[in-house]
Amino acid sequence: MVNRVIVGAHYGLRDWLAQRVTAVVMAVYTLIVIALLLADAPTDFAGWKAWFAQGWLRFATFLFIISLVYHAWVGVRDVLMDYIKPVGTRLLLQVLVILALVGYGGWALQILWRA
Amino acid sequence: MRLRIQRYDPDQDVKPYFKDYDVQLEPTDQMLLDALVRVKEADDSFSFRRSCREGVCGSDAMTINGKNGLACITRIADVKEPVELRPLPGLPIIRDLIVDMTQFFNQYHSIKPYLINNAPAPDKERLQSPEDREELNGLYECILCACCSTACPSFWWNPDKFVGPAGLLHAYRFIADTRDEATNERLDNLEDPYRLFRCHTIMNCVDVCPKGLNPTKAIGKIKEIMVKRAV
């Protein structure tokens, strides 16, 4: 294969926009949760369990986790694109990051619905 | 005046080194470039680029006490001694303060820095309303000195792929021009994770621009137009 610099993948806007939207979702969620906890924080395990079992909070936490995973993916991918030059290594690391993030996301949701 | 200048002659030196100079200034020496000319008088092996000596040609861009700028419009009274001068970072050094700007200009050419309009030319000039012309202010003034792009870590890591702040400022200058007909092609050309989206808005470019321009704002406007086009 010829060794030329090729650019023009024609994507990037969606990820850039998604990173901003997910940041807003996480910021809003964080503020709401902090406000709620300042008002009335659960004191024991049963209290925390009941707190996270509220339907709307489960919904919001689900959105938060999805946002976190997508946001982290775009950010870590950008870091890898900046610093890891060999394409094979970059692809491998990107795949590992995707697998880790999907795994973490699933795990978090499982904890959330187990509560 | 005391200066500490990075010297490098690839034919003789293994690696760059710093050399100290003490030069006697004349009362007419106001700008850092005047001091560099004094250094050159004392040591003619020292090399740097200069031309217009008034901040228009962009030849004498260098790192002055850690910050990119033009020697010709940097007042001697404003810099702390000893003044440490290095070549622009991230580009190959040809000699002393002279760098190889090929990658920088390749990126500039890649955005097609000229008006594209295939409509038959009118009898006189292609007119713009004063409001439309207003949008080009803060864009057309760029002199391509490369202070911004060489202050940008994204450009350091990917100078062959990332257009860089100077190129993107010029890209927006033509996207914003109502007389240009190639807006879609220009946006297509930039919609790429490397070409445009390596910009992470750290604003080093704004910090160093000797002409007081704002490439980050221009890049933001390109993204805004892309969003408008896509959403």
Q: How far is A48 from chain B (nearest CA, A)?
A: 38
CB contact (8 A) between residue A81 and residue B194: yes
Query: CATH number for the domain including A55?
Result: 1.20.1300.10
Residue A97: inside a domain: yes
Residue A92: inside a domain: yes
Contact pairs from chain A to chain B, CB under 8 Å: 48
Residue A9: inside a domain: no
Average pLDDT, chain A: 93
Residue A105: inside a domain: yes
What type of residue is A12?
G
Query: What are B132-172's pLDDT values in tens digits?
Result: 999 999 999 999 999 999 999 999 999 999 999 999 999 99
> Which residues of B are less than 8 Å from A13 in CB distance?
191, 197, 223, 226-227, 230
Backbone angles phi, psi at B95, to 5 degrees: -170, 135
Query: What are B92-108's pLDDT values in tens digits?
Result: 999 999 999 999 999 99
Q: Select the residue from A3, A6, A7 to test the B interface by mutation, using most B Cβ atoms within 10 A.
A: A7
Residue range of the domain that includes A80: 15-114
Does the pLDDT value for residue B185 go beyond 60?
yes
> Which residues of A are less than 8 Å from B230 in CB distance?
13-14
Task: State the Cα–Cα distance between residues B141 and B126, nearest whole angstrom.
Answer: 20
CB contact (8 A) between residue A12 and residue B200: no
Q: Give the confidence band of A1 by pLDDT, cuts at 50, 70, 90.
A: low
Nearest to B192 among A10, A14, A78 (CB): A10
Stretch 71-130 of chain B: residues touching chain A, C-beta under 8 Å: none
Length of chain A: 115
Task: State the Cα–Cα distance between residues B22 and B16, nearest whole angstrom.
Answer: 20
Backbone angles phi, psi at B180, to 5 degrees: -90, 140
- The number of folded domains in chain A is 1
Which residues pair with residue B69 across a beta bridge?
B62
Query: What are B21-54's pLDDT values in tens digits?
Result: 999 999 999 999 999 999 999 999 999 999 999 9
Residue A96: inside a domain: yes
Q: Could you write out the DSSP letters of every residue in B45-103?
A: T-----SSSSSSS-TTEEEETTEEEEGGGSBGGGSPSSEEEEPPTTS-EEETTEE--HH
Residue A3: inside a domain: no
- The complex's ipTM works out to 0.87
Nearest to A13 among B153, B158, B227 (CB): B227
Stretch 157-216 of chain B: residues touching chain A, C-beta under 8 Å: 157-158, 160-161, 188-189, 191-198, 200
3-state secondary structure B164-210: HHHHHHHHHHHHCCCCCCCHHHHHHHHCCCCCCCCCCCCCHHHHHCC
Residue A5: inside a domain: no
Task: State the Cα–Cα distance between residues B176 and B133, nearest whole angstrom.
Answer: 9
Q: Select the residue from A13, A71, A90, A91 to test the B interface by mutation, using most B Cβ atoms within 10 A.
A: A13
Does the pLDDT value for residue A70 go beyond 90?
yes
Residue A10: inside a domain: no
